């Protein structure tokens, strides 16, 4: 048993009956869609052709949303249907990032992830999905793809069919007959507001405080949900007439968490390097390194919980883990690292307060630092593998990212360190480390994001948005100039005060870079 869909685009008349039936059958709230019809016009007036495409969950044979879900709220049934359980979902929104088809949304009423589930409640009692029943042209066919005698199997066998984004390797079980290239590929058309007849024209911040409108952005409606295009319809060769946009799932807490996690891991790694190579520090400095590492790990956890739609369900990551998800693996790495670092802080703190013999802290310290190195590296780099599972955001599919996150950890840890210990001998070492890491990090950014060709159109478009589009000022002025070039100059000046200013600028520039890196790919349409 392997359920799937065939959409006959040549028969579809764009009546939206399937969208309406889906909302009615599944009580889908306003503002979100499980099924929607995309309309694209090609040609120039009066020689115009309009094509329609029904868009929804593809019920993939290899669903990335299932792999990334940390608590098995998104799961695949034995009959091939990709189903979800809203009562289990913690609202992490990772499945939205993993879906290359924009098929998943956060239900505004329940706060849980939802999507087309093949009307499983109907299928289980022998009925067809609601969209199939109401289609007046029988343009939607559902059934068992494994049954050679089923209508859907015969349709697939007798027609030239295509799937969306086959390069993603998701093996979609939704096939299109007569799929128009301009409709099948979301980046094939211009998404400026003037090209839409009816669409959700959305407003997002340009980053400098001024709102900007664009049909490809994802945020809140500017002047209501329905917009009318300017001028003649189809005055360009290809333009989208109607489509449903999707909101950006991850906002400022995610780049903030990347910065605080980098500081925590960087401080520990610097302490381990210094301690295991024979470096000496005062008891207060050892305690301070451990304390600030633990403190930023706590802030990191707070950002992660805050970003959940169901923060009270956070512990389900630990109590019912789905081990293929890097959210789960990262959570266990962070918990283990936090426990070890907390034990180190307690030990160093008791010695600093002369509650215990300082010699015992000195003897145990190398063991704790040695055990903590792989945990700190894992905590710094695991997000790269989580981003790798987010198959809907191609810019994040970067094999250089684990190394880049580790470099950022060293840079962020040394940047915060110079703010605390700028006048000490240890601060002098940190200034040197910071200067080197700033140079290496800038080289990594240019080699990995600016100069390196990208493997897909969506990744290239996201990178262009960062370097030459909406985020160009944030990138060149905030991340490159303020976050790297100016700090390097201040560090070369050699004074502790200049080093403190450099450290502060580096942290601000790092956040600006992470914000652009996290946000820009989410604004490239997948549907």
Closest CA relative to residue 172, chosen from 69, 103, 71: 103
Domain ranges of the chain: 3-243, 253-523
Does this chain's domain 3-243 share its CATH topology with 253-523? no
Over 60: is that where the pLDDT of 19 sits? Answer: yes
What are 509-523's pLDDT values in tens digits?
A: 999 999 999 999 998
Give yes or no for a contact between 214 and 243, defined as CB atoms under 8 angstroms apart.
no
81, 82, 84, 89: CA torsion to nearest 10: 160
Q: Which of 127-136, 195-204, 384-393, 486-495 has the lowest mean pLDDT?
A: 195-204
Round to the nearest angstrom and report the end-to-end CA distance of the chain. 28
Q: What are phi and psi of 266, to 5 degrees?
A: -65, -40
Confidence class of residue 330 from pLDDT cuts 50, 70 and 90? very high
pLDDT surpasses 90 at 231: no
Cα–Cα distance between 461 and 187 in angstroms, integer? 9
Q: Calculate what percentage of the chain has a pLDDT beyond 70.
A: 88
Per-residue pLDDT tens for 421-469? 988 889 999 999 999 999 999 999 998 877 888 888 899 999 999 999 9
Among 167-171, 340-344, 360-364, 379-383, whose mean pLDDT is lowest?
A: 360-364
Residue 233 pLDDT level (bands cut at 50, 70, 90): very low
Structure tokens at 435: 């200067």
Residue 2: per-residue pLDDT: 94
CB-count exposure of residue 440 (10 Å: 0-12, 13-18, 19+): middle
Q: Label residue 180 by pLDDT band (50, 70, 90).
A: confident
Q: Rounded to an integer, what distance in angstroms lies between the CA atom of residue 8 and that of residue 155?
A: 9
Strands (DSSP E) contained in 97-136 are 105-106, 113-114
Query: For a pLDDT cut of 90, what percent of the chain falls above it?
Result: 70
Reference 225, options 210, 208, 244, 247; nearest CA is 244
Which secondary structure element, helix H or strand E, spans residue 120, and what is its range? helix 120-123
- Please give the model's pTM, rounded to 2 decimal places: 0.89
Tens of pLDDT along 275-313? 999 888 888 889 999 999 999 999 999 999 999 999 999
Q: Work out the angle at residue 360's Cα, subtended by the Cα atoms of residues 356 and 365, and round it to the nearest 5 degrees.
A: 120
What per-residue confidence (pLDDT) applies to 339? 96
Give the pLDDT band of residue 206 (cuts 50, 70, 90).
very low
Q: Which long-range contacts (CB under 8 A, 24 or more apart) does 462-466 make?
A: 462/393, 462/394, 462/395, 462/520, 462/521, 462/523, 462/524, 463/395, 463/520, 465/520, 465/523, 465/524, 466/516, 466/517, 466/520
Has domain 3-243 been given CATH number 1.10.10.10?
Answer: no
Q: What is the CA radius of gyration of the chain?
A: 26
Q: How much is the pLDDT for 188?
A: 72
Mean of pLDDT over the chain: 88
Contact 113, 96 (CB under 8 A): yes
Q: For 239-284, what is each residue's pLDDT tens digit?
A: 666 667 677 899 999 999 999 999 999 999 999 999 999 888 888 8
Largest Cα–Cα separation, the chain = 89
Residues contacting residue 196 through CB under 8 Å, at least 6 positions apart? 215, 227, 228, 229, 239, 240, 241, 242, 243
Q: What's the average model confidence in pLDDT over 63-92?
A: 96
Q: Count H helices, E strands: the chain?
A: 18, 15
State the burial class of residue 229 (Cβ atoms within 10 Å of its Cβ: 0-12, 13-18, 19+): buried
The architecture in CATH of the region 253-523 reads: Up-down Bundle (1.20)
Query: What number of other Cβ atoms are within 10 A of residue 124's Cβ?
Result: 10
- Name residues whose C-beta falls within 8 Å of residue 27's C-beta, 6 or more positions apart in sequence: none
Q: State the residue for tokens 């160009």.
A: 472
Least confident residue range of 209-218, 316-325, 353-362 = 209-218
Nearest Cα to Cα of residue 380 among 302, 319, 442, 293? 293
> Secondary structure of the chain: what % helix, strand, coil (to 5)?
50, 10, 35
Range name among 175-189, 276-290, 319-333, 413-427 with the lowest pLDDT average: 175-189
Lowest mean pLDDT among 147-156, 228-237, 272-281, 370-379: 228-237
């Amino acid at each position: 048993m392997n359920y799937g869909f065939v959409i006959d685009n040549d028969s579809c008349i764009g009546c939206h009956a399937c969208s309406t039936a889906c909302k009615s059958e599944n009580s889908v709230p306003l503002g979100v869609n499980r099924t929607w019809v995309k309309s694209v016009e090609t040609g120039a007036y009066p020689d115009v052709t309009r094509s329609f495409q029904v868009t929804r969950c593809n019920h993939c044979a290899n669903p990335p949303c299932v792999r990334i879900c940390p608590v098995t709220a998104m799961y695949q049934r034995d009959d091939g249907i990709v189903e979800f359980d809203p009562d289990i979902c913690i609202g992490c929104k990772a499945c939205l990032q993993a879906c290359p088809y924009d098929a998943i949304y956060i239900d505004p009423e329940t706060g849980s992830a939802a999507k087309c589930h093949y009307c499983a409640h109907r299928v289980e009692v022998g009925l067809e999905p609601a969209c199939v029943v109401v289609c007046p042209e029988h343009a939607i066919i559902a059934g068992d793809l494994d049954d050679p005698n089923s209508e859907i199997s015969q349709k697939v066998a007798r027609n030239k069919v295509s799937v969306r984004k086959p390069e993603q390797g998701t093996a979609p079980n939704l096939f299109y007959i007569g799929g128009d290239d301009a409709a099948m590929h979301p980046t094939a058309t211009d998404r400026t507001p003037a090209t839409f007849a009816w669409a959700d024209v959305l407003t997002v911040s340009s980053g400098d405080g001024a709102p900007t409108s664009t049909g490809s952005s994802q945020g809140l409606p500017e002047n209501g949900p329905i917009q009318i295009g300017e001028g003649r319809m189809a005055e360009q060769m290809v333009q989208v007439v109607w489509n449903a946009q999707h909101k950006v799932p991850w906002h400022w807490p995610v780049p903030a968490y990347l910065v605080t996690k980098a500081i925590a891991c960087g401080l520990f790694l610097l302490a381990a390097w210094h301690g295991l190579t024979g470096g000496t520090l005062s008891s207060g400095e050892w305690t301070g390194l451990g304390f600030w590492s633990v403190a930023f790990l706590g802030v990191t956890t707070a950002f992660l919980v805050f970003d959940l739609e169901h923060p009270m369900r956070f512990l389900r990551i630990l109590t019912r883990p789905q081990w293929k998800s890097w959210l789960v693996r990262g959570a266990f790495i962070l918990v283990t690292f936090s426990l070890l670092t907390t034990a180190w802080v307690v030990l160093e703190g008791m010695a600093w307060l002369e509650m215990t013999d300082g010699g015992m802290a000195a003897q145990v310290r190398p063991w704790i630092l040695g055990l903590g190195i792989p945990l700190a590296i894992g905590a710094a780099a695991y997000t790269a593998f989580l981003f790798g599972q987010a198959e809907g955001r191609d810019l994040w599919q970067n094999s250089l990212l684990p190394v880049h996150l580790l470099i950022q950890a060293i840079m962020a840890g040394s940047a915060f360190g110079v703010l605390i210990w700028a006048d000490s001998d240890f601060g002098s070492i940190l200034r040197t480390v910071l200067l080197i890491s700033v140079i290496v990090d800038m080289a990594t950014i240019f080699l990995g994001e600016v100069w390196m060709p990208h493997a897909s159109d969506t990744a290239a478009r996201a990178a262009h948005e960062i370097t030459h589009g909406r985020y160009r000022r944030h990138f060149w002025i905030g991340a490159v100039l303020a976050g790297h070039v100016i700090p390097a100059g201040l560090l070369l000046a050699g004074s502790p005060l200049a080093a403190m200013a450099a450290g502060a600028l580096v942290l601000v520039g790092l956040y600006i870079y992470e914000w652009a890196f996290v946000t820009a790919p989410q604004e490239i349409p997948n549907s």
